[in-house]
Amino acid sequence: HSHNSGSPHQHILHRLHALQQQFRHISPHAMQRTAAEFNISLSQVAAVVAFYSFFSTQPRGRFDILFSNCTSCGYLSGDQDLMQMLCQLLQVTPGKTRADGLISISETSCIGMCDQGASLLINGLPVTALNAEKLTQIAQRITTESPLTDWPTEWFAVHDRIYRRDLLLMEQHAPGSALQTALAQGADQTLAVIQQSGLRGRGGAGFDTGKKWQLCRAAPGDAHYVVCNADEGEPGTFKDRLLLRDHTDAMVEGMTTCALVIGAKQGFVYLRGEYRYLLPHLHAVLDQRRNQGLLGQHILGYENFEFDIDIVVGAGAYICGEESALIESLEGKPGIPRIRPPFPVTHGYLGQPTIVNNVETFIAAAHIITHGSVWFYSIGTEQSRGTKILSISGDCEKPGIYEYPFGVCIRQVLDDCGAQNVQAVQIGGPAGKLLGAAEFNRAISFEDISTGGSFLVFDQQRNLLAIHRNFAHFFAHESCGFCTPCRVGTRLLKNNLDKIAEGRGTAHDIEELKQLSHLIQHQSHCGLGHTAAHHVLDGLQHFPHTFSAPLQPHFTAQFDLDQALESARQATHRNDAAAHLDNE
């Protein structure tokens, strides 16, 4: 067991979060001290600081604001204008800290508030339902340096709207209920129930959960680990925000049950930095369960059953949702995906057998143990048992959280959320699928359209090119930079779409888009790169007009070519027609 950066109680990310909060940046001196404290090199610390967008080496403002630039929380609700407005009110340039150190305002990727109207994070806390009036008041409070604790609490409220509940959201979990059943029937039978239920991972890839637990259990190692991936970063998804707050106990119980099956003593919840505001609540639930004898040593009085959980908070890197990148991050390193195989199930945290499942999967597992496999297996489709929780946002009357049996068709979902004149839906975030009306009879399932939960609606008024641009900017920003096809490819894709959108593109650029997309898709190292160009390929196939409409018939130069020849004309003392370019 390593004792430095991976040590649960003194995690390097937590040290850096604390430094960032206290000093608004991480100085060379602070890095040196951190390196000594964690017994690693200065360059390792510097690499971590550089990797995560929530850490900075230049001082941020005492009020540090991040506007979400997600298509849904940002673009669809006109966030760009709001950010400009606040910058003007406070006399600050986006991305810079004001000279007096009072305020800094930047953009960040989706913060999971897509159904709450335009939103921002201020010193890590979400402020939702932004409008001009609220921003004016915020600017006043910042100018007078009113501490956040004095601000109206309503500004920080996150109102969850759940429009459809099914298996999971209907449940009221009684602490200990699943564990009691699991302990009474034993680890073998508990694993068998998970296997019989047909449960598959809810993150989108859909690996068989029972099989994963079985492989991990069988894998030799000094220790086994359970990790909950609470790093939901797929832009447009926000259901974990609700699950982490209202179904926390079931999630922890699912993890504890998994620990029983695979023989783990230590677990982690890897919480996305954007959800840091949920930390006090999560700690309270863990403490309560320790007091109830449901975590720690001798769980429910069993001599040999010991398991506890630490929470590690991420720092604004979407790639850490990829399970091997998440494990790197847990180990206190930059979140660069590992080469797989070997998979985490045999070589995960500290090289030991590790289960990584997401929040929804652990909650489902807990309820399956309580209710039995048939309760779950009898809902859904052949390959996709149970239900899926969707985060719906964009152009619809009722943005919010919906739980459906797998197999629900897209048209049904659109009807339920009050979407009209729908042009397209993007399912599964920017890495997912863009579908037009001809495909609204397709189904949410692993057999057909798989999703981690993001469901974005675009009506006929939307310019899809702006959406593609937003997605391309997202990937160019979130590419971890490890491999060239993705690092360079996502940037070229972004430049290319910018060029077309700005009216400088020609037919040649469409060819370029296609080639680039295929290259990124096939040559990248991890899932981010493999999927980063999907939206472009879908768009070119189903909405070719999006890309062709703004094209120019000819290459148009950005400067006056004829004027550029003036010096040559002067040098040769010529100014006849042949010394000029043809003006057609």
Point out which span in 138-146, 167-175, 259-267, 482-490 binds ligand SF4 (CB under 6 A): 482-490
Is residue 319 near ligand SF4 by the rule CB under 6 A? Answer: yes
Q: Percent helix, strand and coil across the chain, each rounded to 5? A: 45, 15, 40
CB 482, min distance to ligand SF4, A: 4
Query: Six-digit token pair at 405?
Result: 């049996």
| Residues in CB range of 260: below 8 A, 6 or more apart | 179, 182, 183, 187, 190, 305, 307
Name which position in 211, 265, 487, 491 contacts ligand SF4 (CB under 6 A).
487
CA distance 247 to 260: 20
Cα Rg of the chain, angstroms: 26
CA distance 97 to 469: 27
Task: Give the single-character DSSP code of 264.
Answer: -
CB 230, min distance to ligand SF4, A: 20
CA distance 88 to 480: 32
Bridge partners of residue 296, in order along the sequence: 307
Q: Tell me which amino acid residue 160 is.
A: D
Cβ-based neighbour number of residue 222 at 10 Å: 9
Name which position in 483, 513, 516, 519 contacts ligand SF4 (CB under 6 A).
483
Name which position in 526, 533, 536, 540 contacts ligand SF4 (CB under 6 A).
526
In 109-231, the DSSP E strands lie at 120-122, 125-127, 162-164, 225-230
- H/E run at residue 354: strand 354-358
The interface with ligand SF4 within residues 324-363 (CB under 6 A) comprises 337
Is residue 529 near ligand SF4 by the rule CB under 6 A? Answer: yes
Point out which span in 129-137, 256-264, 373-381, 479-487 binds ligand SF4 (CB under 6 A): 479-487
Point out which span in 137-145, 385-393, 443-451, 520-528 binds ligand SF4 (CB under 6 A): 520-528
Is residue 476 near ligand SF4 by the rule CB under 6 A? Answer: no
Total chain residues near ligand SF4 (CB under 6 A) = 14
Q: Which is nearer to ligand SF4, 70 or 528 (CB)?
A: 528
- In terms of Cα–Cα distance, which of 423, 430, 434 is closest to 470? 430
Match 């694993």 to its residue by tokens.
191
CB 428, min distance to ligand SF4, A: 17
Point out which span in 76-84, 102-110, 354-362, 483-491 binds ligand SF4 (CB under 6 A): 483-491
Is residue 238 near ligand SF4 by the rule CB under 6 A? Answer: no
Q: Which is nearer to ligand SF4, 360 or 478 (CB)?
A: 478
CB 522, min distance to ligand SF4, A: 11
Match 């709450």 to its residue by tokens.
116
Is residue 422 near ligand SF4 by the rule CB under 6 A? Answer: no
Angle, CA 435 vertex, CA 158 and CA 69 arms, to 5°: 40
Name which position in 479, 517, 521, 531 contacts ligand SF4 (CB under 6 A).
479
Point out which span in 146-154, 326-334, 367-375, 523-531 binds ligand SF4 (CB under 6 A): 523-531
CB 484, min distance to ligand SF4, A: 8
Which residue minimizes CB distance to ligand SF4?
A: 529
Name which position in 270, 404, 471, 482 contacts ligand SF4 (CB under 6 A).
482
Is residue 52 near ligand SF4 by the rule CB under 6 A? Answer: no
CB 483, min distance to ligand SF4, A: 3
What is residue 288's three-state secondary structure? helix
Task: Give the single-character DSSP code of 516.
Answer: H
Point out which span in 143-151, 363-371, 424-432, 526-534 binds ligand SF4 (CB under 6 A): 526-534
Is residue 481 near ligand SF4 by the rule CB under 6 A? Answer: yes
What are phi and psi for residue 12, nearest 5 degrees? -60, -35
Name which position in 228, 528, 533, 540 contacts ligand SF4 (CB under 6 A).
528
CA distance 268 to 510: 45
CB 359, min distance to ligand SF4, A: 22
Cβ-based neighbour number of residue 269 at 10 Å: 25
| Residues in CB range of 474: below 8 A, 6 or more apart | 69, 70, 109, 235, 318, 430
- Give residues in contact with ligand SF4 (CB under 6 A): 319, 337, 479-483, 486-487, 524-526, 528-529
